[in-house]
């Protein structure tokens, strides 16, 4: 027995000695490697471990891309790196390979804690990095974890101490650091910022500084992005001292464009000039004429995305539509990402949440309906197409006001898109359809109002005033193009102060009217201020609802609106509202209101002038009552008999309307109930899914960690030469095409995870076991 143990121990010692020699040899090769003279073409030409090479090969990564060839050797030499390369050029592997290698050479184990921290600005990107890591890290022993928010912090905290490579979004990482449980960064070897310029910009500044202040200064730092616009001060914040710039000019201030570095050559870029109010017409026509394409449509806010998605869906352009924005539940976002990645003919309507880093395969078109805030955002958006040498096309819609300024900005980065013109025959207005949709569905109208407001606000807050000219916005036309009866009033924070400022002398009246708010924060229309009736107050109280807006629109009375040919506004001469007039605006349904509507007082107050309007099928407003001549009136009989006849007729009509309304209300109630149940069901499913994905996204073991080819070997309870505690643990072998998950005691064989669901089930198994 003792002999057996002795021979096992000496075998292990022998193994460790071999490992040490192997690592020494790697270190020597790295030192000798000269990136300038060496002509590495394949990953195997680089001084990297067999374990990583094997993982790369299994994931079909054999040949190096330019940024990988240039940056990996520098990172392997423990230098800090600032890497810039075009979108889709393989930056993810350019930092993941050095991460694995660094920990590998340090003989990092599960029990050494956090060795590498990878920060990504979005959850989607973090998930994608995690996925690539699990693909190539299958032959190492490291555990990888994902912390991206939207999950239970406590659950993550319990597992975080086991993680060697942590990938996450800035906010969530800091949250874990603040909690001071589990996440120990004392030993951290490497910090990576993907989409570095975004991580470093103002939005993340405080969070990032707080994270960095918790990290040991001795760590190595890698920064990657397709755009590098941050200042040297920003880099100093990260304690980047002796860093090497790869694939970009030495100075972070320098312009990438000068080096021809901005967008892939395989990307065909174009633009069209289009009025704001025609954008949706053009978009819809474009989609209808590109039904066999895979495209991403970028809009500037989640509300616009929501509105365009919901209305276009109803108009059925003939292609599968999807939408993605940051206000969706994480489970829905993940599901959409997954579905869109797999689909071939599909249109994804999205915000900039997917503008950076996301690697969707085979995107034919990137359409930018709203002008991006800057050229960098443009570069990242169009970079969702033409990835890894593939062909792709992009189209940006520029309004006549934005065109000159934005083309000038693009030119500073050597981007000169071609001007496209739309054939007259292909132009088709969808405005009437949108108007009719919104007229029928108050929820859509509500979405439209929100979309309008968020677009206008987005223009207002843009920094680049040469491109975005708020004062010139054709708000009325834009509102109508969304199918709205008129431009909703907008409250813009801080406008009161601006108003007071002298600089606002020249601000347009339109802007001022947008900015006026009452003490309780509600918008004020100067002309209607003194006629606030109890109905106004009632509807005002429900200001969040569609109803109040609808009410406002049918009672709108300022001169500008009178000029509108809006299909829902009532044209009025008299701008003041009398309380007694109000019943005329609705169809009475109760007996009391019928009586009131037909009362002498009511008829007197109308003064013979018809103010109630009805709408024909085209949505054109007509007066209900038309004045007729006295003679004609008397021909029809006495006033008394006509009144009686009229009353009888109207009562019948009202009764019919009443019954229809009741039926409709009942149907609506039932539908609401059905929706509520459906929502509850979906929420329960989402909760379950989230619990499940919490596990999946918290920790996964990447591989066996064995240096040799024997992938099924596990550690046993022991101490190694460095005195590190090591104990028996489960590990995973990725075996392609293994149809069934099999448990072999100490290791689990699984099919290589291809999708997020695969990953989830794999991790669930790990945690269970």
Phi and psi at 267, nearest 5°, equal -100, 125
Residues 197-226 that bind ligand ATP (CB under 6 A): 226
CA-based nearest residue to 703, from 134, 118, 22, 129: 134
Q: Which of 113, 383, 485, 705 binds ligand ATP (CB under 6 A)?
A: 383
Residue placing its CB nearer to ligand ATP in the complex, 88 or 417: 88
Q: Which of 63, 205, 288, 735 binds ligand ATP (CB under 6 A)?
A: 63
Nearest distance from C-beta of residue 501 to ligand ATP, angstroms: 41
Q: Does 515 bind ligand ATP (CB under 6 A)?
A: no
Element (H, E) at 23: helix 2-32
**Whole-angstrom distance, CA of residue 549 vs CA of residue 444:** 13
CA-based nearest residue to 702, from 130, 87, 21, 83: 130
Nearest distance from C-beta of residue 415 to ligand ATP, angstroms: 15
Nearest distance from C-beta of residue 279 to ligand ATP, angstroms: 26
Q: Does 588 bind ligand ATP (CB under 6 A)?
A: no
The β-bridge partners of 84 are: 225
Q: Does 90 bind ligand ATP (CB under 6 A)?
A: yes
Q: Which of 89, 262, 330, 458 binds ligand ATP (CB under 6 A)?
A: 89
Q: Which of 65, 109, 141, 569 binds ligand ATP (CB under 6 A)?
A: 65
Tokens representing 327 are 């206000």
Nearest distance from C-beta of residue 43 to ligand ATP, angstroms: 7
**Torsion sign, CA atoms 15, 20, 23, 25:** negative
- # residues near ligand ATP by CB under 6 A: 19
- In the chain, DSSP finds a helix count (H) and a strand count (E) of 28, 22
Tokens representing 304 are 């616009």
Alpha-helix residue ranges (DSSP H) falling in 360-508? 375-382, 400-411, 431-440, 442-461, 475-481, 495-500
Residue placing its CB nearer to ligand ATP in the complex, 87 or 331: 87
Q: Which of 49, 52, 75, 92 binds ligand ATP (CB under 6 A)?
A: 92
**Whole-angstrom distance, CA of residue 242 vs CA of residue 85:** 20
Q: Does 359 bind ligand ATP (CB under 6 A)?
A: yes
**Using alpha carbons only, what angle is made at residue 501 by residues 499 and 507, rounded to the nearest 5 degrees?**
55
Q: Does 64 bind ligand ATP (CB under 6 A)?
A: yes
Q: Does 40 bind ligand ATP (CB under 6 A)?
A: no
Residue placing its CB nearer to ligand ATP in the complex, 91 or 294: 91
- Piece of the chain touching ligand ATP by CB under 6 A; list 86-94, 289-297, 325-333, 335-343: 86-94
- Piece of the chain touching ligand ATP by CB under 6 A; list 140-148, 382-390, 516-524, 751-759: 382-390
451 to 108, 330, 481: CA distances (angstroms): 51, 22, 12
Q: Which of 291, 388, 624, 660 binds ligand ATP (CB under 6 A)?
A: 388
Nearest distance from C-beta of residue 195 to ligand ATP, angstroms: 7
436 to 359, 440, 587: CA distances (angstroms): 38, 6, 20
Q: Does 228 bind ligand ATP (CB under 6 A)?
A: no
CA-based nearest residue to 67, from 354, 261, 220: 261
Nearest distance from C-beta of residue 157 to ligand ATP, angstroms: 30
**Whole-angstrom distance, CA of residue 309 vs CA of residue 305:** 6
C-alpha torsion 304→307→310→316, nearest 10: -80
Assign 3-class secondary structure to 146-158.
EECCCCCHHHHHH
Nearest distance from C-beta of residue 44 to ligand ATP, angstroms: 12
Nearest distance from C-beta of residue 221 to ligand ATP, angstroms: 18
C-alpha torsion 421→424→428→429, nearest 10: 80
Q: Which of 52, 71, 87, 555 binds ligand ATP (CB under 6 A)?
A: 87
Binding site for ligand ATP (CB under 6 A): 61, 63-65, 68, 85, 87-93, 226, 357, 359, 383, 387-388
């Amino acid at each position: 027995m003792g002999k057996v143990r002795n021979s096992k121990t000496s075998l292990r010692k022998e193994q460790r000695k071999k490992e040490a020699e192997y690592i020494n040899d790697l270190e020597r090769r790295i030192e000798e490697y000269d990136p300038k003279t060496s002509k590495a073409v394949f990953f195997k030409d680089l001084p990297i471990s067999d374990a990583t090479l094997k993982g790369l090969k299994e994931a079909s990564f054999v040949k190096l891309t330019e940024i990988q060839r240039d940056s990996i050797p520098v990172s392997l030499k423990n230098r800090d790196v600032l890497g810039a390369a075009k979108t889709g050029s393989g930056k993810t592997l350019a930092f993941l390979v050095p991460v694995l290698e660094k920990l590998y050479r340090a003989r990092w184990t599960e029990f050494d804690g956090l060795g590498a921290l990878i920060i990504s600005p979005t959850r989607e990107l973090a998930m994608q990095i995690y996925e690539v890591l699990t693909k190539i890290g299958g032959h190492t022993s490291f555990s990888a974890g994902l912390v991206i928010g939207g999950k239970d912090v406590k659950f993550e905290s319990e597992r975080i101490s086991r993680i060697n490579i942590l990938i996450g979004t800035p906010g969530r990482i800091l949250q874990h650091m603040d909690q001071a449980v589990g996440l120990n960064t004392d030993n951290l070897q490497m910090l990576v910022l993907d989409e570095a310029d975004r991580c470093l910009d103002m939005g993340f500044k405080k969070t990032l500084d707080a994270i960095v202040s918790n990290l040991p200064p001795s760590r190595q730092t890698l920064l990657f992005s397709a755009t590098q616009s941050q200042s040297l001060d920003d880099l100093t914040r990260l304690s980047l001292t002796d860093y090497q710039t790869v694939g970009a000019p030495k100075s972070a201030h320098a312009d990438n464009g000068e080096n021809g570095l901005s967008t892939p050559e395989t990307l065909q870029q174009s633009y069209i000039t289009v009025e704001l109010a025609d954008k949706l017409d053009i978009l819809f026509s474009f989609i209808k004429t590109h039904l066999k394409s895979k495209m991403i449509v970028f809009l500037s806010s989640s509300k616009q995305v929501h509105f365009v998605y919901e209305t276009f869906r109803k108009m059925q352009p003939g292609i599968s539509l999807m939408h993605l924005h940051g206000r969706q539940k994480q489970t829905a976002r993940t599901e959409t990402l997954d579905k869109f990645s797999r689909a071939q003919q599909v249109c994804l309507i999205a915000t900039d949440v997917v503008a950076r880093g996301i690697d969707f395969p085979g995107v034919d078109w990137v359409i930018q309906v709203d002008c991006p805030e800057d050229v960098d955002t443009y570069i990242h958006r169009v970079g969702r197409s033409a990835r890894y040498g593939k062909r792709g096309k992009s189209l940006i819609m520029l309004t006549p006001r934005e065109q000159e300024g934005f083309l000038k900005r693009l030119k500073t980065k050597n981007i000169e898109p071609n001007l496209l013109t739309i054939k007259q025959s292909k132009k088709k207005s969808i405005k009437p359809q949108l108007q009719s949709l919104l007229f029928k569905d108050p929820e859509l109208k509500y979405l439209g109002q929100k979309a309008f407001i968020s677009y206008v606000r987005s223009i207002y807050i843009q920094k680049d005033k040469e491109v975005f000219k708020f004062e010139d916005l054709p708000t009325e036309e834009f509102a109508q193009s969304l199918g709205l009866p008129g431009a909703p009033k907008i409250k813009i924070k801080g406008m009161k102060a601006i108003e007071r400022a002298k600089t606002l002398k020249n601000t347009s009246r339109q802007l001022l009217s947008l900015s006026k708010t009452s003490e309780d924060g509600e918008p004020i229309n100067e002309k209607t201020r003194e006629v606030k009736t109890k109905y106004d107050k009632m509807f005002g109280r429900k200001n969040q609802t569609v109803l109040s807006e609808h009410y406002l629109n049918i009672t709108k009375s300022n001169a500008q609106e009178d000029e509108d040919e809006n299909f829902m506004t009532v044209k009025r001469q008299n701008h003041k509202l009398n309380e007694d007039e109000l019943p005329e605006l609705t169809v009475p349904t109760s007996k009391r209101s019928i009586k009131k509507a037909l009362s002498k007082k009511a008829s007197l107050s109308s003064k013979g002038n018809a103010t109630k309007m009805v709408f024909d099928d085209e949505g054109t407003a007509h007066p209900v009552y038309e004045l007729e001549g006295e003679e004609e009136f008397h021909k029809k009989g006495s006033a008394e008999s006509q009144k009686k006849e009229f009353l009888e007729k109207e009562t019948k009509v009202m009764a019919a309307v009443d019954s229809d309304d009741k039926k409709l209300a009942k149907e609506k109630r039932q539908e609401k109930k059905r929706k509520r149940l459906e929502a509850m069901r979906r929420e329960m499913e989402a909760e379950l899914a989230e619990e499940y994905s919490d596990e999946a996204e918290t920790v996964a073991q990447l591989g066996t960690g064995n240096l040799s080819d024997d992938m099924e070997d596990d550690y046993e309870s022991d101490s190694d030469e460095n005195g590190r505690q090591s104990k028996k643990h489960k590990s995973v072998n990725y075996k392609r095409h293994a149809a069934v998950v099999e448990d072999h005691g100490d290791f689990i064989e699984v099919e290589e995870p291809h999708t997020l669901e695969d990953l989830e089930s794999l991790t669930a198994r790990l945690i269970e076991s």
